[in-house]
A and B are shown apart, each in its own frame.
Chain A
Amino acid sequence: MLAQYLLAGLTVGAIYALVALGFAIIYNASNVINFAQGEFVMIGGMASAGFVEAGLGLPLAALLAIGCATLVGILLEKFAVERARGASVVTLIIITIGASILLRGLATLVWDKKIHPLPGFSGEQPIVFAGATLLPQVVWVIGVSALAVALVWWFFNRTLTGKAMLAVSHNRLAARLAGISVRRVLLTSFALSAALGALAGILIAPISFTSWDVGIMLGLKGFAAAILGGLGSGPGAVAGGLVLGIVESLGAGYLSSAYKDVFAFLIILAALVFLPDGLFGRRAAERV
């Protein structure tokens, strides 16, 4: 039983980790908490389901869906976040929440309010592994998420663009003086987060289905995972996502499935009270 719960936890945890990574990337580049992050997940799932229903093959549908979400991310940065530069934290939160309502509304117009399935990437035949039965999709979720996280790490540590983005997150002014285009970094961060969110949405859709409103809870959980790991920390976001997924799954399995989401938020509250800066966050002093 334990293996089964851990595996289930790891699967949703991987999804939370991808969403949390999206939060962290945007936060690092712009200090904005993008509450529309969950909608990228929704767009990923809904668009790929839509393309598949229209007769496209799954790989092409998935690629197009990621493309759609990335475009939405870029538009969101260009037409909303960039224009509201210098607004207060709460104002920016309201803007991204407005964006998420807008995107949910658009989703009901472009698609509908029904629940859509997406076929598993390699069939639905369960595999028995280490005493636990698992869907092949679980392997896909964990494998592709791990690959995506590795790619993100490589991007930030080994490529010039990635390093430029890190530089902006450390000191915007210094980065600008060194000739880094902060505007392009902002755009890239939104594009990258949107792509990661959409990927998460496509990966999870064959397991939990997708609909216009899946983004709300997934977005909240991703935010929770990002906070748990320490805002702005990439490894923290991934660890936070996995911890959250496993706690949730164990809580639902051994204690009460009705309170699944409560466990996730209780662990967050406990973590916040005892580690106010997250698992990997650095303590920041206020400048007076």
Chain B
Amino acid sequence: MSSSPTASSAGAPQSGSRRGLLALAIFAALLPLALPNAYTYEIAILVGINAITCVGLNLLIGYAGQISLGHAGFFGLGAYGSAILASRYGWPPLLSLPVSTVLVGALAWLVGRPILRLRGHYLAMGTLGLGVIVSIVLATEDRITGGPDGMAVPPLKVFSYAIGGEKTWYWIIAAAVVLAVWLAQNLIESPRGRAMRALHGSEVAASAVGIDAARHKLHVFVLSALFAAAAGGLTAHYSGFITPSKSSFVHSIELVTMVVFGGMASTFGAVVGAAVLTTLPQVLTTLKEYEMVTLGAVMMLTMIVMPQGLVPTLEKAIAAARRKPV
């Protein structure tokens, strides 16, 4: 078992990640200057939403070493939960969103206990099964969810003032991304985060030094589900309409691909992965019928050439260049 590529364990992680967070905040603050129209704002918002989910998923996959091929299920449940509470029961979205997120977290806690006993490909199958079941239930219970055609979602309201427009939403999502990254960084650098990374190396070895493997796995699983559910709820109220495709296996795969593409065990990698793989299909639509072929080929090539993902590979290249003075 090779050691996990956690660059932050060496050097001065504290200051490095603080600088990264600051850079991210500045980037998010300046980005609107480069966004010419509503369409580009929309893509930026989509990137942000995926980034929130991926930062959470990366804690599970990249740091704790547990795969999930069903996270779109949590995303979808978070979205539908808030949508149903708000539209069918008339809850204010400002309340339905956190309540739905917490409910999804509770569900993750319940299913996580038996599921997380599984390992490797069996865990992949278990989470995949959960995701598929959620997706089918959302598509079939059409009296509550509107079925495969989806349902309308009331907009987010603060004191009877409805939040609309791409620009306002951009700032909400940007703030949420920075918050998500800050939370993830804090967790990774805490003793709890160290325990989590130990699990990635070897569960048996981690248990041998007194780490409660089952408890730590469950906690990070629930946390990643909370991130996904919150992102789902935000999407629902932002776009005003949701369909079960948001909870599909394909979307789960997209999320995992973003994490792996950006670089596992790198929070900024997750953000970069979300940014690249959310924007790429928008660019590829100009290729029309060649879109799928290109997407598949890009996924394969990058993973073959950079099995550790984009950000860790770049970090290594930069570090190597610094060591070798020209």
A104 to chain B, nearest CB (A): 6
CB atoms of A99 and B140 under 8 A apart: no
CB atoms of B303 and A276 under 8 A apart: no
A56 sits at the interface (CB 8 A):
no
A178 sits at the interface (CB 8 A):
no
Contacts of B256 in A (CB 8 A): 90, 93-94
A106 to chain B, nearest CB (A): 6
List 17 contacting pairs A-B, 8 Å CB cutoff, sorted by A.
A88-B264, A94-B299, A98-B295, A101-B296, A102-B299, A105-B295, A223-B128, A262-B136, A265-B129, A265-B130, A268-B125, A269-B115, A272-B129, A273-B117, A277-B122, A286-B203, A286-B204
A135 to chain B, nearest CB (A): 27
Size bracket, chain B contacts: 35 or more
User: A4 to B251, alpha carbons, bound, how many Å?
Assistant: 36
User: A83 to B41, alpha carbons, bound, how many Å?
Assistant: 39
Counting chain A CB atoms within 10 Å of each CB, the highest count among B118, B125, B136, B304 belongs to B125
A89 sits at the interface (CB 8 A):
yes
| Cβ-defined partner of A80 (8 Å) among B126, B137, B304 | B304
B42 to chain A, nearest CB (A): 24
Interface of B toward A, CB cutoff 8 Å:
1, 61, 67, 114-115, 117-118, 120-122, 124-126, 128-130, 132-133, 136-137, 140, 202-205, 208, 249-250, 253, 256-257, 260-261, 264, 289-300, 303-304, 307-308
User: A220 to B292, alpha carbons, bound, how many Å?
Assistant: 20
| Beta-carbon contacts under 8 Å, A47-101 to B | 80, 83-84, 86-91, 93-95, 97-101
CB atoms of A102 and B292 under 8 A apart: yes
CB atoms of B140 and A33 under 8 A apart: no
Closest 6 CB pairs of A and B: A102-B296, A105-B292, A98-B299, A101-B296, A105-B293, A98-B300
User: A217 to B136, alpha carbons, bound, how many Å?
Assistant: 12
CB atoms of A95 and B249 under 8 A apart: no
Contacts of B300 in A (CB 8 A): 80, 95, 98-99, 102
User: A268 to B256, alpha carbons, bound, how many Å?
Assistant: 22
CB atoms of A276 and B292 under 8 A apart: no
Known: A109-B290, A220-B128. 7 other contacts (CB 8 A): A33-B124, A84-B303, A90-B61, A90-B260, A94-B260, A216-B250, A288-B208
CB atoms of B202 and A272 under 8 A apart: no
Q: Helix, strand, loop or mixed for chain A's interface?
A: helix
User: A27 to B120, alpha carbons, bound, how many Å?
Assistant: 13
Counting chain A CB atoms within 10 Å of each CB, the highest count among B121, B132, B290, B308 belongs to B121
Nearest to A258 among chain B residues (CB) is: B140
Residue tally, chain A, CB below 8 Å to B: 48
Contacts of A97 in B (CB 8 A): 253, 257, 299
Nearest to A265 among chain B residues (CB) is: B129
Contacts of B264 in A (CB 8 A): 88, 90
Q: Helix, strand, loop or mixed for chain B's interface?
A: helix
User: A82 to B133, alpha carbons, bound, how many Å?
Assistant: 34
CB atoms of B132 and A261 under 8 A apart: yes
Counting chain A CB atoms within 10 Å of each CB, the highest count among B61, B67, B132, B203 belongs to B132
CB atoms of A262 and B133 under 8 A apart: yes
A132 sits at the interface (CB 8 A):
no
Nearest to B202 among chain A residues (CB) is: A288
Contacts of A95 in B (CB 8 A): 299-300, 303-304
CB atoms of A89 and B292 under 8 A apart: no
Nearest to A113 among chain B residues (CB) is: B289
CB atoms of B304 and A106 under 8 A apart: no
Nearest to A102 among chain B residues (CB) is: B296
CB atoms of A84 and B132 under 8 A apart: no
A46 sits at the interface (CB 8 A):
no
A164 to chain B, nearest CB (A): 24
Contacts of A89 in B (CB 8 A): 67, 120-121
User: A12 to B253, alpha carbons, bound, how many Å?
Assistant: 26
A227 in contact with B122 given A97-B257, A108-B292 (CB within 8 Å): yes
Contacts of A84 in B (CB 8 A): 303-304, 307
A105 in contact with B67 given A84-B304, A273-B114 (CB within 8 Å): no
Nearest to B136 among chain A residues (CB) is: A262
A119 to chain B, nearest CB (A): 29
